């Protein structure tokens, strides 16, 4: 019996050892497999990381550049100084001169009659003045005197100054666009500009005298550059002369000048723009032989019912664009040949 019990114990021990060995091998194999799987995952993750494109920062970089540029645009350079109030002007000192940028006069008579100083004394220095665009625009000034050192009247300088009646200047060479737009009380003849020396003026911009009080005869010479609509709606111009040597009349230049009764055109003329003399009060117009282009409604009547039809007579040469224009629009035509 003892022997049988002994063999049973030996057999049970052997079975137990075998089972433990199998369990350890299985556990070891599982650990190896898990490690292998984790290693594969890490490799895939590393591969994806390597293949993943870099984030696009170009937009951010552009924004930074834009911000930098905007910042530079607003920087005030060392030779500029902003000052407000003195002499009733806002102005900016740039280098060796002073630009008057905005007038802030009051309601007193002295404030409405402005004499622009030739120089401004600042910090012990005298700066020659110039005038910035729109300096007097929409103000209630009555008269304006510019110093002799002013050679340029800027864009919109006195636009909508409806009370302005007089402007004195001597050496102006250019008048910017809209400079005296809607200044109907500014009663002046072309011959009176520059205190009687209009020949000094070399250019007048777009709408410079629109709806102004410019009156009498206006002469355009080859030495004077004009633009579209320079004199449009000037209700007091009575005569227009385009001098010899000019080849083009700009669009709308004398449109709605309904007091004009006479227009003289040169033999050098080749083109008349759209509505150049539209709604003037002429009864006839003579078109020179060299004209090869007539713009739409270059002439028109100022009556309400015939606004787009010229009720006068076009005088010109047979077979010319003048005759063709008149025939197409049923306008009376008188030949010169």
If you average pLDDT over residues 79-104, what whole number do you get?
78
Q: What is the tens place of the pLDDT at every residue in 40-50?
A: 434 434 444 44
Specify the pLDDT at position 42: 44
Pick from 58-67, 87-96, 162-171: least confident: 58-67
User: Does residue 230 belong to any structural domain of this protein?
Assistant: yes
Instruction: Give yes or no for a contact between 302 and 280, defined as CB atoms under 8 angstroms apart.
Output: yes
Q: Do 323 and 174 fall within a single domain?
A: yes
Specify the pLDDT at position 17: 41
119-122/174-175 β-pairing: unpaired
Q: Do 40 and 140 fall within a single domain?
A: no
Would the pLDDT of 216 be above 80? yes
Contacts of 82 by beta carbon, 8 Å cutoff, 6+ apart: 76, 90, 92
Would the pLDDT of 87 be above 60? yes
User: Does residue 148 belong to any structural domain of this protein?
Assistant: yes
User: Does residue 121 belong to any structural domain of this protein?
Assistant: no
The residue behind tokens 């340029």 is 152
Q: Do 151 and 33 fall within a single domain?
A: no
Residue 233 region, left (φ>0) first, then alpha (ψ -120 to 50), else beta? left
Q: Do 182 and 310 fall within a single domain?
A: yes
User: Does residue 17 belong to any structural domain of this protein?
Assistant: yes
Q: What is the tens place of the pLDDT at every residue in 139-184?
A: 999 999 999 999 999 999 999 999 999 999 999 999 999 999 999 9
Mean pLDDT, the chain, rounded, equals 81
Pick from 67-76, 165-174, 328-337: least confident: 67-76
If you average pLDDT over residues 111-136, what whole number do you get?
93
Would the pLDDT of 20 be above 70? no
Would the pLDDT of 197 be above 50? yes
User: Does residue 112 belong to any structural domain of this protein?
Assistant: no
pTM of the model: 0.74
User: Does residue 279 belong to any structural domain of this protein?
Assistant: yes
Specify the pLDDT at position 305: 61
Specify the pLDDT at position 107: 77
- Asked which of 25, 46, 67 is the last residue of a domain, the reply is 46
The pair of three-digit structure tokens given for residue 57, joined into one six-digit string: 């920062």
Residue 292, exposed/middle/buried by CB under 10 A (0-12, 13-18, 19+)? exposed
Would the pLDDT of 187 be above 50? yes
pLDDT category at 304 given cuts 50, 70, 90 is low
Would the pLDDT of 12 be above 50? no
Specify the pLDDT at position 281: 92
Q: Do 202 and 310 fall within a single domain?
A: yes
Q: Tell me the CATH number at 224.
A: 3.80.10.10
User: Does residue 254 belong to any structural domain of this protein?
Assistant: yes
pLDDT over 90, % of the chain: 65
Structural domain of residue 25, as residue ranges?
1-46
User: Does residue 308 belong to any structural domain of this protein?
Assistant: yes
In the chain, the number of structural domains is 2
pLDDT over 70, % of the chain: 73
Pick from 55-59, 92-96, 182-186: least confident: 55-59
Would the pLDDT of 262 be above 60? yes
pLDDT category at 85 given cuts 50, 70, 90 is low
Specify the pLDDT at position 123: 83
Backbone angles phi, psi at 35, to 5 degrees: -65, -40
Would the pLDDT of 211 be above 80? yes
If you average pLDDT over residues 203-218, what whole number do you get?
98
Q: Do 145 and 271 fall within a single domain?
A: yes
């Amino acid at each position: 019996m003892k022997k049988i019990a002994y063999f049973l114990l030996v057999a049970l021990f052997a079975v137990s050892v075998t089972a433990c060995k199998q369990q350890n091998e299985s556990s070891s194999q599982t650990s190896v497999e898990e490690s292998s799987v984790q290693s594969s995952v890490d490799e895939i993750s590393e591969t994806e990381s390597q293949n993943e494109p870099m984030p696009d920062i170009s937009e951010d970089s552009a924004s930074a550049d834009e911000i930098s540029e905007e910042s530079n645009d607003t920087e005030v350079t060392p030779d500029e100084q902003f000052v407000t109030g003195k002499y009733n002007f806002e102005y900016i000192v740039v280098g060796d001169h002073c630009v008057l940028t905005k007038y802030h006069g009051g309601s007193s008579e002295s404030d409405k009659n402005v004499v622009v100083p030739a120089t401004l004394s600042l910090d012990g220095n005298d700066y020659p003045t110039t005038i910035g665009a729109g300096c007097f625009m929409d103000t209630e000034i009555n008269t304006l005197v510019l110093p002799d050192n002013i050679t340029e009247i800027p864009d919109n300088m006195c636009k909508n100054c409806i009370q302005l009646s007089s402007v004195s200047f001597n050496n102006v060479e250019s008048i910017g666009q809209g400079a005296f737009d809607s200044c109907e009380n500014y009663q002046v003849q072309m011959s009176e500009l520059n205190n009687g020396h209009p020949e000094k003026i070399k250019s007048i911009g777009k709408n410079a005298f629109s709806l102004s009080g410019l009156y009498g005869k206006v002469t355009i010479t080859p030495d004077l550059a004009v633009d579209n609509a320079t004199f449009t709606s000037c209700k007091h111009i009575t005569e227009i002369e385009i001098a010899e040597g000019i080849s083009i009349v700009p669009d709308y230049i004398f449109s709605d000048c309904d007091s004009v009764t006479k227009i003289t055109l040169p033999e050098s003329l080749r083109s008349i723009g759209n509505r150049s003399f539209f709604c003037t009060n002429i009864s006839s117009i003579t078109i020179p032989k060299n004209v090869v282009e007539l713009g739409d409604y270059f002439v028109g009547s100022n009556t309400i019912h015939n606004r787009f039809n010229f009720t006068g007579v076009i005088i010109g040469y047979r077979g010319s664009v003048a005759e063709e224009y008149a025939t197409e629009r049923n306008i009376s035509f008188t030949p010169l040949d």
